[in-house]
Amino acid sequence: MIDWIVHWPTWELMRVIGFGSYMLIAAGICLGILYSFPAAKPQTKKTRYRLHTLFTNAGMALGLAHGLLPVISIYSPFAWKEVLVPFAAVHHPVLNGLGTLAAYGAIVLVFSSDFRHKIAKKLWYASHLLAYPVFAATFVHGYFLGSDTKLLAIRWMYLLSIAMIVTLTAVRFAIVPQWKAAGMQRKMKRTGA
Ligand code: HEM
């Protein structure tokens, strides 16, 4: 059985899973930001929230699988310490360390969201903003460490994901509060409050 497992193309699997995790996390963050945008129908908000949770949870699960695969790889094996302790890897300690920190950050984000009704709202929201540095860490880790970055299509996907997140974040913090305030004023006028 062990013999069968060590002959898996673990390094290739690890790369594919790592990129899949990155894309799911990027899409999940976009959906999380979109959730704070006003929506005409409550159903739209619900769908955004459901997909945000699905994508970020799946991204975290794949990220963990990707991080653990080097331990059983025969191509370039990692010791447990190199994977679990940030910046302890023999090769590219900083870039690998960012991957480890991103994985821990993703775990904190997913589990703090599961228990968010038991935490003060402001505290939960402040902790949820950790998503931005976690995403930045996964980007730097994947882009600068990944062998697939040499492929043009992959570089475009990284660029697109960054452009989407930066644009949505700018709109979210610069414009959404004004939309919401205008919507409230219209509602108050209608109800005569
Ligand atoms: C949420 C956590 C993580 C995400 C989203 C992530 C994502 C990625 C991505 C997108 C790549 C580029 C794949 C490629 O182009 O080939 C990559 C490469 C890599 N990651 Fe991670 N990673 C994470 C955690 C980790 C951890 C904990 C380790 C272990 C220290 C690790 C080790 C590596 C290695 C060694 C590579 C280079 C593979 C190669 O191209 O040869 N990653 N990662």
For residue 15, report the distance from its CA to the centre of ligand 1, in Å: 7
Residue type, 98: L
Number of domains forming the structure of the chain:
1
Each residue of 24-60: b (16+ CB within 10 Å) or e? Answer: bbbbbbbbbbbbebeeeeeeebeebeebbbebbbbbb
Q: Name, in order, each residue with C-beta under 8 angstroms of 122's C-beta and a sequence gap of 6 or more.
A: none
Residues with CB under 6 A from ligand 1: 15, 18-19, 21-22, 25, 63, 66-67, 70, 83, 89, 96, 99-100, 102-103, 106, 138, 141-142, 145-149
| pLDDT score of 2 | 66
Alpha helix positions (H), 73-149: 80-84, 93-114, 121-128, 131-145
Q: Name, in order, each residue with C-beta under 8 angstroms of 162's C-beta and a sequence gap of 6 or more.
A: 139
Q: Are 86 and 101 in contact (CB under 8 A)?
A: yes
- Residue 9 Ramachandran class (φ > 0 left, ψ -120 to 50 alpha, else beta): beta
| pLDDT score of 1 | 66
Phi, psi (degrees; rounded to nearest 5) at 36: -80, -5
Q: Are 138 and 102 in contact (CB under 8 A)?
A: yes
Give CA–CA dist 72/39, Å, rounded.
Answer: 46
Q: pLDDT tens per residue, the chain (193 residues)?
A: 667 766 778 889 999 999 999 999 999 999 999 998 887 788 999 999 999 999 999 999 999 999 999 998 887 789 999 999 999 999 999 999 999 999 999 999 999 988 888 888 889 999 999 999 999 999 999 999 999 999 999 999 999 999 999 999 999 988 877 877 777 777 777 776 5
Range of the domain at 185: 2-191
pLDDT, tens digit, 9 for 90 and up, residues 136-189: 999 999 999 999 999 999 999 999 999 999 999 999 988 877 877 777 777 777
Confirm whether pTM is higher than 0.75: yes
| pLDDT score of 193 | 59
| pLDDT score of 184 | 73
Give CA–CA dist 137/131, Å, rounded.
Answer: 10
- Atom nearest to 83 CA in ligand 1: 30
For residue 143, report the distance from its CA to the centre of ligand 1, in Å: 9
Could you say which DSSP state residue 88 is in?
A: -
- Atom nearest to 14 CA in ligand 1: 38
Report helix, strand or coil for 141. Answer: helix
Tokens 């570089």 correspond to 155
